[in-house]
Structure 1
Amino acid sequence: MNIVISGGTGFVGKQLAENLIEKGHHVYILTRSPEQKLDTKQVTYVGWLKKGFDPLSQLPEIDAVVNLAGTSLFGKWTKEKKAQIRSSRLEATETLVDMIEKMPKKPKVFVSGSAVGYYGTSEQDAFTEDTTKRGQDFLADVTYDWEEAAMQAKGLGVRIVLARFGIVLGDKGALPLMQLPFRYFAGGKIGSGEQWLSWIHVRDAAGLIAYAIENESIEGPLNVTAPSPRRNKDFSKTLALTLHRPYWTTAPASIVEKALGEMSILVLEGQCVYPKKAIDNGYHFRFSSLSEALEQAL
């Protein structure tokens, strides 16, 4: 298949591209700086989102489009940062939908990135793709608008998959930051430690997206999480064991809130999310155990 990926040079995007290449597909990676990339037999870099670029003129008939573009959530959530978080996701999604609309032959599937933040936060409730009620915080609002933008392609006869990512574990992303206190023998739970963390290994994140591309039965919301979410206190203990470091301190919520501001919701609150649709459709997780995922990632 010919597959377009936005965000294909990012953490998950690179892993997905490798996965698809191994399966024999040709990957077209959309980037603002194609001149800095080197095409290969199975990878072509295509310029977009900058004046002068016309990606459609460089693309053959496309079978699938994957949207992983969007600025990082990390960093102080100033008014400007929050605007960038929202606009970067909506701009990329709306541009891709417009590209799909202009394609003479439409792709079979559009997999658009989203996040488990859609569900809001809770220490008691568990969420699956059957959950229809969304949260009411900033991240829930962003993911709702993000998904609504992607759903505009459904009217074009394209199968839509809304990939709701949890915390992706690997050599980049959140894990390098999460392990720092433990590396310096100052690791422990954050706040109450009761908040949920729905995680997935980067190889499974890429594997599940590839699986969704190839399986027509997968449509709508898709939780890109492992089947074993953990509370912060349990995740932290497992991380400490993996790193052979002590687990003994507590980062008070008040200090975390002061240091991170509104972004502290990412570490002080969470949601228990299960990948019901992935399991029901027969996806086999390579890393369903947190300890195995951390061992490999670290």
Structure 2
Amino acid sequence: MVEQQPRVVIAGASGFVGRHLRQALVDDGYEVVTVGRTGDAVWGNTLRIRALVDGAAVVVNMAGKSVDCRYGRRNRAEILRSRVDTTLELAEAIRTAEHPPPLWLNASTATIYRHADDRPQDEATGELGEGFSVSVARAWEAAFFGADLPRTRRVALRMAIVFGDGSALVPLLRLAQAGLGGPQLDGPWFPTPGRLRAGTYHHDRHTHGRQRFSWVHVDDVVGVVRFVRDHEEVTGPVNVSSPEPSDNRTVMATIRESVGRRFGLPTWRWMLELGAFAIRTESELVLKSRWVVPTRLLEAGYAFRHPDLRGALAGIIAERREHRG
């Protein structure tokens, strides 16, 4: 008798992290099915989604619109909807399944913590922040943990900025190669009433390029998913971030070193705001100080494959050159 493959359901498998997870879990011997705008089930077809999660070994949700955009009204609504509504739909499918999955991992974000340049933020002592991005993260986790799912262990992956070939690292590499790989410097900028009401205005903290920068290698995101799968004691929010966070000035210097550029012009706040408007993104993504540490993972025994920034960047750049070659 042929033994049936255990099934994993991945929502948001077309994104950068989702693609890596899908391949890793296929390599682990799982049957991987997907939920998204296309795939084995599409959002809105809750009956089909329930059929997929019923009897699954693991559900992983990485769905959500990219935050690399301008936070206008329409994009704000879609950023929130694409996280909360998809999480609620999965929760309903799992709640009504005859054989609900024993484990559900849901993406979250390390941005949920406040701007921190005084001390690191972990799961036990970290302080949640304020503003639009934090309100989205709060609503996302509320949707995830709010449902009554007594037979399903839930873990929220509060991910820092993920590095890898094709990730958010790519535009930083391009800046360095163009000679613009200096620190991003905070400073005064005029607020508008609309941005103040929406919570999208970044207040100047005079960080001088020392705003903390928490990051994680995509290999460790995959490693954490496997680790959580195998350690039933891990539940609730988990920070997925290198145990050696850096700061903006050091990150940019390390990137310049990795691509062979000795110098990089700094970018002042006014330049960032004009540039962010031109390329349709937000300055908060580089100016907020994110100082996050993975206390729960370390205490549970997870060993990071890429804890060191310099080594992680060297490996990613070598991989990029191999692919391009």
What TM-score does the superposition give when structure 1 sets the normalisation length?
0.91
Counterpart of 2:29? 24
Change in 2 beyond 3 A, CA 1:289/1:24: same
Counterpart of 2:151? 157
TM-align CA RMSD: 1.8
Counterpart of 2:321? none
SS state at 1:121 partner: coil
Identity of aligned residues (%): 28
Change in 2 beyond 3 A, CA 1:86/1:114: same
Counterpart of 2:284? 265
Letter in 1 for 2:259: L
Moved over 6 A (4+): none
Counterpart of 1:221? 237
Letter in 2 for 1:232: N
Letter in 1 for 2:302: Y
Match of 1:274 among 257, 272, 293: 293
Counterpart of 1:211? 227
Matches of residues 144-223 of structure 1 in structure 2 within 5 Å? 144-191=138-185, 192-223=208-239
Counterpart of 2:255? 239
Residue by residue over 1:97-130, the C-alpha shift from the partner in whole angstroms, topping out at 9 and shown as x without a partner, is 0110111012111111100011021221210111
Match of 2:302 among 283, 288, 291: 283
Q: 1:97 & 1:206 partners in 2: Cα distance?
A: 23
Letter in 2 for 1:119: Y
Q: 1:59 & 1:112 partners in 2: Cα distance?
A: 14
Residue by residue over 1:43-78, the C-alpha shift from the partner in whole angstroms, topping out at 9 and shown as x without a partner, is xxx122156972333555112111100000111111
Q: 1:242 & 1:182 partners in 2: Cα distance?
A: 9
Q: Which runs of 5+ in 1 are unaligned?
A: 35-45
Given that 1:100 and 1:153 are in contact with CA atoms closer than 8 Å, whether structure 2 keeps it comes out as: no
Letter in 1 for 2:181: G
Shift of 1:278: 1.1
Letter in 2 for 1:55: I
SS state at 2:10 partner: strand
Counterpart of 1:55? 49
Given that 2:95 and 2:148 are in contact with CA atoms closer than 8 Å, whether structure 1 keeps it comes out as: no
Shift of 1:184: 1.2
Counterpart of 1:134? 128
Given that 2:183 and 2:249 are in contact with CA atoms closer than 8 Å, whether structure 1 keeps it comes out as: yes
Q: Does 276-285 or 54-63 show the bigger shift?
A: 54-63
Change in 2 beyond 3 A, CA 1:53/1:158: closer
Given that 1:229 and 1:274 are in contact with CA atoms closer than 8 Å, whether structure 2 keeps it comes out as: yes
Shift of 1:2: 1.8
SS state at 1:96 partner: helix
Shift of 1:174: 0.9
Given that 1:167 and 1:198 are in contact with CA atoms closer than 8 Å, whether structure 2 keeps it comes out as: yes
Q: Is residue 4 of structure 1 aligned with residue 9 of structure 2?
A: yes
Q: 1:198 & 1:271 partners in 2: Cα distance?
A: 6
Q: 1:271 & 1:244 partners in 2: Cα distance?
A: 27
Q: Does 271-280 or 59-68 show the bigger shift?
A: 59-68
Letter in 1 for 2:294: P
Shift of 1:231: 0.5
Given that 1:182 and 1:246 are in contact with CA atoms closer than 8 Å, whether structure 2 keeps it comes out as: no
Counterpart of 1:41? none
Q: 2:126 & 2:313 partners in 1: Cα distance?
A: 31
Structure showing the higher strand proportion among its residues: 1
Give the total of aligned pairs: 287
Letter in 1 for 2:96: K
Letter in 1 for 2:230: E
Matches of residues 99-118 of structure 1 in structure 2 within 5 Å? 99-118=93-112
Q: 1:58 & 1:280 partners in 2: Cα distance?
A: 34
Counterpart of 2:198? none
Counterpart of 2:89? 95
What TM-score does the superposition give when structure 2 sets the normalisation length?
0.84
Shift of 1:84: 0.8
SS state at 1:122 partner: coil
Structure with bigger gyration radius: 2
Q: 2:148 & 2:230 partners in 1: Cα distance?
A: 18
SS state at 1:134 partner: coil
Q: 1:251 & 1:59 partners in 2: Cα distance?
A: 47
Letter in 2 for 1:29: T
Counterpart of 2:192? none
